[in-house]
């Protein structure tokens, strides 16, 4: 069974189909540290749930199940995933989270168009991991990218989290801490959590909110939205 290192957590994950192994090859680990997360998805379970009318392969469905289990288990390690598109810009990680269809991926692609691929790197385009480790908050790539295929095995210090709303004109504000939790909660893991894991999730989310900056960007799909956002984030507001 291959060993991986994802978000600085050594994991022993067994898949039945080749799709996960292909996505996770950059995360393979060959060191001596023992795995802290171990699980296997039963092949018969995946086949039972699969319908050939689905707009994905059976391996893609297995990846969804693996992602759900993995993102639950990392809660024990001061880590939490956020449904978002995450970039590295000026050595800091920024996450852009939004309801489906709002255009989080479209927005981060505009960052690349505006500031250049040499200056903007996408860490993960769907499920980046945020973890408190080494006395700081870091954002990690993972092989669980929602099928986009856009992920990088890297990490960067968290610079800020931006929630997007579609609007005719572009504007950005810093969010009050008390307004953040509902927005964070609906874009992270919350189903199938027993009391123990729910407590891990709530504790990590609370610490994340207290110690970091959150923003609301009302935007259209014009490149001006990135200019307004970049200036606001990097001016230290």
Question: Tell me, what's the pLDDT at 192?
Answer: 78
Interval 160-167 mean pLDDT: 96
pLDDT tier, 18 (very low <50, low <70, confident <90, very high otherwise): confident
Tell me the average pLDDT across 110-125: 96
Report pLDDT for 237.
Answer: 57
Domain ranges, ordered by start, for the chain = 3-234
Report whether pLDDT(110) > 90. Answer: yes
- Mean pLDDT on 22-48: 95
Query: Which of 131-140, 143-152, 226-235 is predicted with the least confidence, judged by mean pLDDT?
Result: 143-152
**CA 147/CA 165 separation, integer angstroms:** 23
Higher-pLDDT residue of 146, 159:
159
Average pLDDT over residues 169-186: 95
pLDDT at site 6: 98
pLDDT, position 52: 84
97-122: average pLDDT: 93
Under the banding of pLDDT at 50, 70 and 90, the label for residue 140 is very high
Check residue 197 and give its pLDDT.
95
Res 107 pLDDT > 70 = yes
Average pLDDT over residues 208-220: 96
149 pLDDT band (50/70/90 cuts)? Answer: confident
* Res 236: pLDDT: 60
């Amino acid at each position: 069974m291959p060993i991986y290192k994802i978000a600085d957590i050594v994991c022993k994950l067994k898949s039945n189909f080749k799709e996960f192994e292909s996505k996770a090859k950059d995360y393979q680990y060959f060191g001596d540290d023992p795995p802290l997360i171990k699980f296997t998805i039963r092949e018969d379970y995946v086949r039972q749930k699969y319908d050939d009318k689905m707009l994905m392969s059976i391996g893609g469905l297995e990846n969804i199940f693996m992602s759900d289990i993995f993102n639950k288990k990392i809660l024990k390690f001061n880590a939490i995933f956020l449904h978002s598109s995450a970039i590295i810009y000026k050595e800091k990680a920024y996450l852009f989270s939004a309801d489906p269809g709002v255009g989080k991926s479209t927005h981060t692609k505009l960052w690349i168009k505006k500031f250049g691929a040499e200056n903007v790197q996408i860490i993960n385009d769907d499920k980046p991991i945020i973890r408190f480790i080494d006395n700081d908050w870091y954002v990690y790539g993972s092989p669980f990218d929602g099928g986009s295929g856009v992920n990088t095995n890297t990490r960067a210090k968290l610079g800020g989290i931006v929630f997007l709303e579609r609007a005719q004109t572009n504007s950005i504000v810093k969010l009050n801490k008390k307004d953040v939790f509902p927005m964070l909660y609906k874009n992270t893991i919350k189903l199938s959590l027993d009391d123990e894991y729910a407590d891990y999730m709530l504790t990590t989310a609370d610490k994340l909110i207290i110690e970091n900056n959150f923003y609301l960007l009302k935007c259209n799909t014009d490149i001006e939205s990135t200019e307004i956002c970049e200036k606001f984030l990097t001016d230290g507001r």
